[in-house]
Structure 1
């Protein structure tokens, strides 16, 4: 059982409501960006591959993109920018939640501050450390409660998105994804759906954990 402090200093608690709202809005925009990608995947599949072949002709040769392919490049670039902003806003929210959890519980976080940032990009450990950081935020304040199921839903969908071949991190460049849309669009649409669902689960998780922490603070009269 983690021992709770009776009353942390008022200036030790950081406001999280605004950060949570910003993160939820950013996730909604990221989800919309991936919905747009799915729409363009369908448009490419319906249009079919041009007679000139895929954009990547092989041996380093690329033909000029047609109007639809060119617009897909724009959609993916905008989506990538929105996703990058979403990641930053999410981590800023999580940083505030971690600081409050430390003040409320009187215990240091299980993972050091550097893991908040590098835990997402280091191979292998990025399969569990980010979830561990989020879980620690809740469990350190509410050791007697079960972890909300939405945390596991979010993490499972996130990992599925990473493994989907066209998820948040993928090896294919845009022209290769276009060629995949021409030859078989269903796997692309499945990956799009998983990522949109992960964004929705992340938004619900943020709301759930933030509300619990705010209610605890209010209930204790801090």
Structure 2
């Protein structure tokens, strides 16, 4: 009786996920968030030019807030819309980042340097938030395209983000909107510098997303041209 020899079964390859649309959405959202901060800076200049009303700042201390005038009320609207756009930008960026990480794993067959949970927690856990988010981007890029030079825009984006985070400016304001209005009346330049940091980080981030996405999309096209990819489970 002939015995059949069991052949080892190769593990299924992980599925690749389209990246171009995700990258376009993330880059576009970053630019829109940057534009929202441009509008915010314009309103702060308008507040500075108008000058503080005789009734004093909106937040008058000890829980007392005077009624807002039209310009101050519109600044509240501008900051609320900007905050909403920034939140949407964060969601689209995280979706893109997770997709890039998963695709890099599928393309290389190597386990990512950072666990998937850090795609989200890496931004908020103290200390590790100084390098984990950039590290995930860099790891996905270098795993996808070994030997290729990291786009300069990645370091510019992260450098500006760190300036904002460590100096307590940009999207990390701890002051209330009314207190920011008071600062615009008394000393607008620090606010404008903070806005410039956010705008610069958003623009650099958009360029970084486009550059990293283009490299991975090129690698995917090359792989698909060489052989069909099996469908598996992205982890």
TM-score (norm 1): 0.92
- The 1:179/1:163 distance shift into structure 2, 3 A limit, reads farther
Size of the aligned set, in residue pairs, is 214
1:215 aligns with 2:218: yes
CA contact (8 A) 1:162 1:170 kept: no
CA contact (8 A) 1:164 1:191 kept: no
Greater CA radius of gyration, 1 or 2?
A: 2
1:183 aligns with 2:186: yes
CA contact (8 A) 2:141 2:212 kept: yes
Q: Structure 1: give runs of 5+ residues left out of the alignment.
A: 1-7
CA contact (8 A) 1:161 1:168 kept: yes
1:80 aligns with 2:77: no
CA contact (8 A) 1:27 1:202 kept: yes
Partner Cα separation in structure 1 for residue 173 and residue 111 of structure 2: 35
Residue 164 of structure 1: how far off its partner (Å): 4.5
Q: Structure 2: give runs of 5+ residues left out of the alignment.
A: 1-11, 228-235
Partner Cα separation in structure 1 for residue 167 and residue 59 of structure 2: 22
Partner Cα separation in structure 2 for residue 136 and residue 100 of structure 1: 11
Coordinate RMSD, CA, aligned: 1.4
Q: Residue 197 of structure 2 corresponds to which residue in structure 1?
A: 194
Residue 145 of structure 1: how far off its partner (Å): 2.3
Mean Cα deviation higher: 105-114 or 161-170: 161-170
CA contact (8 A) 1:158 1:198 kept: yes
TM-score (norm 2): 0.87
Deviating beyond 3 angstroms after TM superposition, the runs of 4 or more aligned structure 1 residues are: 163-166
Partner Cα separation in structure 1 for residue 210 and residue 191 of structure 2: 29
Q: Residue 67 of structure 1 corresponds to which residue in structure 2?
A: 70
